[in-house]
Amino acid sequence: MPLIEVERSGAVLHIAINRPEKKNALSAEMYDALADAVQQGDADGEVRVLLLYGKGDSFSAGNDLEDFMQRPWKKQEVPPAVRFMRAVADAKKPVVAAVHGSAIGIGTTILLHCDLVYAAEGASFVMPFINLGIVPEAGSSVLLPLLIGKQRAAELFMLGTPLPAERAYELGLVNAVLSPEALLATAQAVAEQLAAKPAELLRACKELMKRPFQAEVERAFREEVAIIAERLDSPETKAALSAFLARRKASAAKP
C-alpha cells in the first residue's frame, strides 16, 4: 500500500497518511508525495476541496527523525518538508483536516494552514521543536501567537506542553471535538458542504482572510527555514535529536 493514499470522492480529494506502524511519521518521500497530492488537487478542475487525515491510531508523529537527520536541509534547495508546508499554505481551495491520536510537530503546525480542522476525543497536539534543538516551522511562529496569544503560544513552543483536543477547541485551533467514530464522516460531510458552494467565492474568501498577515507569514517561513537549516549542522541540535530519538525508541520497546 502507498504511504500516501490519494482518492477522489466526488469533488473532495482524500489525502491519507498511511504509515500506521510508525504513527504516520513523515519521511522525505512522504513529504514529496503529500506536496504532489496537494498541488495536483489544487490544480484539478474536478476537485473543489482537499481532505487531509491519517490512518491507524494517529494523525502524524511528525518527522521521521532518522530520515530527518540523514537529510541536512542545507544541502537541499527546497527540503521536501518545506515543499509540503508551502503546498498547503499556498493552496487556493479549501483544506479540511481530521485529526486523531497524536499530532506532533508538523502534525500540528500544518493545521494552521487548513481552513477547517476537526479533532477526535483523545487527540493530542504537541510541538517539541525546542526539545529537538530547532525552532517552529511552517510560519507557525507568527500564526500560533496570532491565534491563541503570545504567552500561550510560548507555553506550547518553549515547554512543548501537550495540548488536549478539548483545550485546542477552547483556544480556537480546532472547530469541533468529536467521537473517533464520527470524526472522518463529519469531516467528509463538511468537505462536501464546501464543495457544493460557489468555488470562486470560497477561494476569494480564503484569500481575503489570509491577506492581512500574509507578508509576515512569508517572512517567518523564510527565517524559520534558514534557522533550522543552520541548526541541523550544530552539535547541540544533533545531540538533542539523537537523545529524542533514543527516548522514542525506548518508549516504543516497552511492553
pLDDT at 65: 83
- Mean pLDDT, range 99-125, rounded to an integer: 98
Block residue for cell numbers 464546501: 194
Q: What percent of the chain clears pLDDT 70, i.e. is strictly above it?
A: 97
List, for residues 212-247, the tens digit of each pLDDT value.
Answer: 999 999 999 999 999 999 998 889 888 888 888 787
240, three cell numbers: 538533542
- Mean pLDDT, range 112-134, rounded to an integer: 96
The string of DSSP letters for 6-28 reads EEEETTEEEEEE--GGGTTPBPH
The whole-chain average pLDDT of the chain stands at 94
List, for residues 30-78, the tens digit of each pLDDT value.
Answer: 999 999 999 999 999 999 999 999 999 999 999 988 888 787 787 778 9
Mutual angle of helices 140-148 and 214-231, in 10-degree steps: 130
pLDDT at 57: 96
Report how far residue 173's alpha carbon sits from residue 167's, in angstroms, rounded to the nearest whole number.
Answer: 9
pLDDT at 72: 74
Evaluate if residue 178 carries a pLDDT over 90.
yes
Evaluate if residue 1 carries a pLDDT over 90.
no
Evaluate if residue 13 carries a pLDDT over 90.
yes
Name the more confident of 234 and 9. Answer: 9
CB 38 within 8 A of CB 87: yes
- Mean pLDDT, range 172-201, rounded to an integer: 98
Q: What percent of the chain clears pLDDT 90, i.e. is strictly above it?
A: 84
pLDDT at 238: 84
Q: How confident is the model at residue 251 (pLDDT cuts 50, 70, 90)?
A: low
Report how far residue 242's alpha carbon sits from residue 239's, in angstroms, rounded to the nearest whole number.
Answer: 5
pLDDT at 241: 86
pLDDT at 252: 58
pLDDT at 76: 79
C-alpha distances (whole Å) from 238 to each of 47, 72, 82, 134, 163 are: 42, 11, 20, 10, 26
pLDDT at 77: 84
- In single-letter form, the type of residue at position 217 comes to V
Report how far residue 186's alpha carbon sits from residue 191's, in angstroms, rounded to the nearest whole number.
Answer: 9
Q: How confident is the model at residue 85 (pLDDT cuts 50, 70, 90)?
A: very high
pLDDT at 249: 64
Domains of the chain by start residue, with CATH: 4-180+208-253 (3.90.226.10)
Report how far residue 15's alpha carbon sits from residue 60's, in angstroms, rounded to the nearest whole number.
Answer: 13
